[in-house]
Structures are given as C-alpha cells and as structure tokens.
Chains A and B, each alone.
Chain A
Amino acid sequence: DGGITQSPKYLFRKEGQNVTLSCEQNLNHDAMYWYRQDPGQGLRLIYYSQIVNDFQKGDIAEGYSVSREKKESFPLTVTSAQKNPTAFYLCASSGTTSSYEQYFGPGTRLTVT
C-alpha cells in the first residue's frame, strides 16, 4: 500500500530542545516537501528536495533543518532557534515531471511548552 508515513502523530517537547519529525514515502517519488500549517494560514513551505542529497529553502526555513540521504526519507528538525514551533507539520512528495501534484502524509502535531 503506497503512501507517506509521518511519525509520531503527536509530539510534545520542552522549549530549547531540538526535535526531529520523520517522513517516509514508498511512492518512488524524487521530490519531497515539508509544510507548516497554522489555523487560517494555509500551508507554508519550509524546505523541499528534488533529489537525494539536495534540498532548498522554502518560504519559512529559519529555525528548521532537513536532510535527504535516502530517496524515501526526508526528516525535518525543528531547532531551538525556531521562535514559534508549535504547529501542524505536513510532509508531501511528488514526481518531478508533468504537474508536480503532491501526495501528503497524515501530519505531525508538535506542541512546545
């Protein structure tokens, strides 16, 4: 059953700690994306990667880091430098030809206190 998995579904951390969110896909897609979703603000792009070992900053990359060592995996680290980390995080993947329609994971809700 192809798709995108994100774990965990809910994550709680203390302020000042880094935290890594997992994203795995078995759709054989080259491209992967991380979005942040806040109420009333839609999805904002954090980072994206078109190919293994390469990634680009999105619109709100400050305070976040990523790696793309494997085609299937695109973990996101929320660092202590991110001023407002509490949010819902969505991972997506797509092909790199045609229309780039994206397939989304179930999301991780991160709460930092």
Chain B
Amino acid sequence: AQSVSQHNHHVILSEAASLELGCNYSYGGTVNLFWYVQYPGQHLQLLLKYFSGDPLVKGIKGFEAEFIKSKFSFNLRKPSVQWSDTAEYFCAVNARGNAGKSTFGDGTTLTVKP
C-alpha cells in the first residue's frame, strides 16, 4: 500500500522568507507525484505535478518541487513567500497502474505574516 508523510503540520513564516515543505512517500514502484493547494475559501487545486522527465518541476506562483527517487521525496520549495501564499498544502502520490487512486498526506498549513 502507498502512504504519504508530510513533515510539518503548521509552518509560520514572514514575507520574503524561503519555504520548504517536506513530503515523503512509501511505494516501491513508479509513481506520479502532486502538490495541491487550498487557499482560504477556494477549491483544492493543483499546484504542480511530476509525471516523468526532469525531476525538478515548476508550478504556479513561483513554486517548484524536486523528485528525489532515492529518498522517496518530493519536497515543495519557494524562494520568497508572499502573504497570499497562506494556504493548506497537500502532497499526493498516485502509483502508476493504480487507476488514479491517489493517497494524500495530512496537509501542511502555511501562514505567512505580512
């Protein structure tokens, strides 16, 4: 069975600080990896995804994530956060051939102080 672990439940940063949210998964086969974001009052939406190719993927609003296969990790980064990045962030994994059945982490709430 696949599982996802997000290291931090709540992160508080000041504007312009750098962000890194940890995500590790357990599954021995080939996976698709996602970060989803839920801004206050909005739908959960895709931030970025890794499917194949370059392990450094870029998403919306200046976010990026790096897939390190040897570490089973897919950490999310942003060099300089803004107040508008305040949201809940979910890491998810979907095993290839598992018919779209994704497993989500417990989420990390990011609060950015102006």
Main SS at interface, chain B: strand
Q: Taking CB as reference atom, which chain A residue is nearest B32?
A: A99
Known: A101-B49, A104-B44, A104-B45. A43 touches B90 (CB 8 A): yes
A40 close to chain B: CB less than 8 A: yes
Q: How far is the CA of A42 from the CA of B34 in the complex (A)?
A: 14
Interface: B51 (CB within 8 A): yes
Q: B100 an interface residue at 8 Å Cβ cutoff? A: yes
Q: B11 at the A/B interface (Cβ < 8 Å)?
A: no
B106 near A40 with CB under 8 A, answer: yes
> Smallest Cβ distance from A55 to chain B, in angstroms?
11
* Residue numbers in A under 8 Å from B34 (CB-CB): 99, 101-102
| Minimal beta-carbon separation of B16 from chain A (angstroms) | 29
A63 contacts chain B at the CB level, 8 A cutoff: no
Can you list, as one digit per residue, whether each of A99-110 has a CB less than 8 Å from chain B (1) or not (0)? 111111111000
Residue-wise, chain A 9-42 has the 8 Å CB interface mask toward B (1 for contact) of: 0000000000000000000000101010000111
17 chain-A/chain-B pairs, Cβ below 8 angstroms: A31-B99, A33-B100, A40-B9, A40-B107, A42-B90, A42-B104, A43-B104, A45-B101, A48-B99, A56-B101, A58-B101, A98-B51, A101-B46, A102-B34, A102-B36, A105-B43, A107-B43
